[in-house]
Amino acid sequence: MNEANGALVGYVVGGSVGKGIEIRLDPSSPIEDIRIGGYVTIQGRSQRFFGMVTDIKLETTDPSLRSTPPNPLDELVSSVISSTSAYAIVTVTLELVIGGDPLAIIEGPQSARTIPPHFSPAFQASSEDIRTVFGTEDDRRIWVGNPLDMQDTRIHLDLEELVKRSNGVFGKSGTGKSFLTRILLAGILQKQVAVNLVFDMHSEYGWQGSNEGNTAVKGLKQLFPSKVAVFSLDSESSRRRGISPDVEVKIGYKDIEPEDVEMLAETLNITPQGVTAVYDIVKRFGQDTWLNEFLKLDRDGLSDLADTTEQHFQVLFTLHRRLRSLDRMDFLSATTADDAVSRILDYIDRGIHVVLEFGRYGNQIAAYVLVANLLTRRIHNMYVSRTERAMGNQSIEPTPLVITVEEAHRFLTPGIASQTIFGTIAREMRKYKVTLLIVDQRPSGIDDEVLSQLGTRFTYPLDNERDIDSVLAGARDPRKLKAVLSTLGSQQQALIFGHSVPMPVVIRTRDYGTDESYSYFGNLSASRSKEELEQDKRDLFG
């Protein structure tokens, strides 16, 4: 027996590649110590397998025991029957080969393509097994949590693989999505695998956020003061919170294009005819002045415009009334010399991560959708241009960019996802060095094709059956993962599966908000100067 093995679970008595391996629980192994989502190793004749517990059931060789069970107070009889006629079956989904196979020895864990023979012994996975599968801390991996029953053992995530594709964090409100998102963003920053642009809807990620008990927790700017810039659409809100943003964002009417109005159609109740009219208005007045000129029109001006564009007057009148709501967004201006996109790209080019806080506009869906769509489309266009110019010359390639967007279903609903910039980015994966980190509690509202393109999904508990089915769509054996997801606790427990982990894994998300958790992110790459490290330490604990 391998000394690295954990406690004996039992022996293989059946199963298949598709349905999982059935292990008869050894009488010495308490069934209550075996849990859905736990890890098991199976020692075959020549290979060592690693898998996840996906089902536990009680069986009996004597049907009469169901109708006439023994007296539970008679411990001797119960013990004898439990070791002979009554027993438990643990179903394990095999994921990897971690020993015996030459490739597993040389290159690390390999996908399991066969099964162990009858009566192969199965053991609870040890900490060493977990390290073999999920790796250890290095220049590309970050600790994200611990197995539910192994709190001294760490699960590491490959961030270099993570940022190669778009990813999603899902879960109902209050489960811990924003905390895990902070950990991922801080890890990306710490390991320097990409640069973040965060559309911070509720001002949670910049200077500070709060936990479920409304206790303040540090944001990215406090953890990495020299590496993060906070942009703000609402400087008054920032000042009320005692924060001085690095950049106050102003957006000109000239930057709003018909595609932006199309994205706002549902939010502002603009009809398809109204969207079509916008394109005609742009042709009439030009891109730089169309919105300003249109909003200045009175009833007679709208009537004249209807004659000129051959649009119905009522369509233009209704559109005019709907777009007047943009006047209430103080960050919008008919004339502005500031170019928000250029400012953001300037910081990104210098390796500085950008958090755009919305302040009071975070509660206005129209403002969030407008700004996120407008800035993302223009930034993506510039990345496409830069990437194409850099083909064959890696030295001028743009810095990989991860764009974090909350309430993602508003941008990626079925029917419009294929036409939005966010749908385009999700389908492109990392072709133009831009990927998404989408955070949402309603994955069923996101287009199925977009969900299928997500590389890694971080899933907290979900209430709605449609949401559960959507987030698991396209996964290997979603039925078993659904059983695992149903056992998660209400907070700080998540199922992770996809491109950046070698197999599905259930974790208790690591803590965020304590001095110890902050100091972990303070240990930045050795490439940073001693002065920078000392400055961050002073800012963090001073």
Q: Give tens-digit pLDDT for 237-264.
A: 878 877 888 899 999 899 999 999 988 8
Could you tell me if 401 and 313 lie in one domain?
no
Tell me what pLDDT residue 391 has: 85
Reply yes or no on whether the pLDDT at 537 is more than 70.
no
Instruction: Give a yes or no: residue 338 inside a domain.
Output: no
Of 295, 328, 361, which residue is a domain's last?
328
Answer whether residue 538 shows pLDDT above 60: no
Mean pLDDT of the chain: 87
Higher pLDDT residue, 40 or 62?
40
| Tokens linked to 105 | 């020895």
Q: Calculate mean pLDDT across residues 84-111.
A: 85
Domain that holds residue 294: 253-328
Residue type, 533: L
Strand, coil or helix: what is 328? Answer: helix
| Long-range pairs for 509-517: beta carbons < 8 A, 24 or more residues apart | 509/144, 509/145, 509/176, 509/179, 509/180, 509/183, 510/143, 510/144, 510/145, 510/146, 510/183, 512/179, 512/182, 512/183, 512/217, 513/179, 513/211, 513/215, 513/217, 513/218, 515/541
Per-residue pLDDT at 454 exceeds 80: yes
Residue 157 and residue 503: Cα distance in Å, rounded?
A: 11
Query: Is residue 339 a part of any domain in this protein?
Result: no
Per-residue confidence (pLDDT) for residue 83, from 0 to 100: 66
Helix (H, G, I), strand (E, B) or coil at 345: helix
Is a pLDDT exceeding 80 seen at residue 306? yes
Q: Is the pLDDT of residue 50 over 90?
A: yes
Q: Number of folded domains in the chain?
A: 3
Contact 474/446 with Cβ under 8 angstroms? no
Q: CA 299 to CA 278: how far, in whole Å?
A: 17
- Specify the pTM: 0.87
Inform me whether the pLDDT recorded for 301 exceeds 90.
Answer: yes
Residues 319, 321: Cα–Cα separation, whole Å? 5
Find all residues with CB under 8 Å of 191, minimum gap 6, and list them.
Answer: 139, 140, 141, 142, 159, 160, 525
Q: Answer whether residue 74 shows pLDDT above 80.
A: no
Q: For 380, left (φ over 0), alpha (ψ -120 to 50), or beta?
A: alpha
Alpha-carbon gap, residue 221 to 360, rounded angstroms: 20
pLDDT band per the 50, 70, 90 thresholds, residue 533 = very low
Considering the domain architecture, whether residues 128 and 207 belong to the same structural domain is answered as no
In the listed set 102, 134, 166, which residue is the last one of a domain according to the structure?
A: 134
Dist CA 169 CA 178 (whole Å): 9
**Angle between helix 272-285 and 313-323 (nearest 10):** 90
**499 within domain boundaries:** yes
Asked if pLDDT for residue 524 goes beyond 70, the answer is no
Q: What distance in Å separates the CA atoms of residue 284 and residue 290, rounded to the nearest whole number?
A: 8
Are residue 416 and residue 519 in the same domain, yes or no?
yes
Is residue 211 very low, low, confident or very high in pLDDT (cuts 50, 70, 90)? low
- Is residue 17 located within the same domain as residue 91? yes
Domain shared by 182 and 272, yes or no: no
pLDDT higher than 70, residue 125: yes
More confident residue, 396 or 542: 396
pLDDT digits (tens, 9 = 90+) for 328-338: 898 998 877 67
> Which of 69, 99, 134 is the last residue in one of the domains?
134
Q: What angle do CA 409, 410, 415 make, to 5 degrees?
A: 80
Token pair recorded at residue 51: 């898998």
Task: Provide the pLDDT for residue 512.
Answer: 85
**Same-domain pairing of 371 and 222:** yes
Q: What is the mean pLDDT of residues 92-107?
A: 83
Q: Is 257 within a domain?
A: yes
- In angstroms, the CA 295 to CA 312 distance is 17
* C-alpha distances out from residue 517 to 5, 145, 513, 514, Å: 31, 12, 6, 5
Predicted local distance difference test score (pLDDT) of residue 78: 64
Sheet of 141-147: strand order equals 155-158, 141-147, 505-509, 493-498, 456-459, 167-170, 434-440, 401-406, 195-200, 353-357, 228-232, 247-248
pLDDT at 2 over 90: no
| Whole-angstrom distance, CA of residue 491 vs CA of residue 173 | 10
Helix H or strand E segment including 53: strand 48-60
Residues 183 and 124 in one domain: no
Please check whether residues 536 and 403 belong to one and the same domain. Answer: yes
Q: Is residue 84 part of a domain?
A: yes
First-to-final CA distance of the chain: 52
CA nearest to 485, candidates 510, 456, 462: 462
pLDDT band for position 314 (50/70/90)? very high
* Same domain (yes/no): 214, 243: yes
Listing DSSP states for 467-529 in one string gives HHHHHHTTSSSHHHHHHHHTT--SSSEEEEEETTSSS-EEEEEPP-SSHHHHHHHHS--TTS-
Q: Residue 212 falls within a domain, yes or no?
A: yes
Do 318 and 233 have their domain in common?
Answer: no
Local structure of residue 463 (DSSP, 8 states): S
Is pLDDT at 115 greater than 50 in this prediction?
yes
Same domain, 386 and 533: yes
| pLDDT cut 90: percent of the chain above it | 56
Whether residues 117 and 30 share a domain: the answer is yes
Whose tokens are 């039992």? That residue is 10
Task: Say what the pLDDT of residue 210 is.
Answer: 64
Q: Scan for tokens 């129209």, then name that residue.
A: 366
- Whether 340 is covered by a domain: the verdict is no
DSSP 349-414: HTT-EEEEE-GGGGG-HHHHHHHHHHHHHHHHHHHHHHHHHTTT-GGGPPPPEEEEEESGGGTS-T
- Find the CATH number of the domain harbouring 199: 3.40.50.300
At 542, the pLDDT band (50, 70, 90 cuts) reads very low
Q: What is the pLDDT, as a whole number, of residue 77?
A: 59
Q: Within 13 A of 387's CA, how many CA atoms are on the CB side?
A: 15
Taking only the tens place, the pLDDT of each residue in 389-445 is 888 787 788 889 999 999 888 888 887 787 789 989 998 878 899 999 999 999 999
* Residue-level pLDDT at 456: 96
Domain-embedded: residue 343? no
Q: What distances in angstroms separate CA 24 from CA 39, 87, 281, 438, one per listed residue?
A: 16, 7, 72, 42
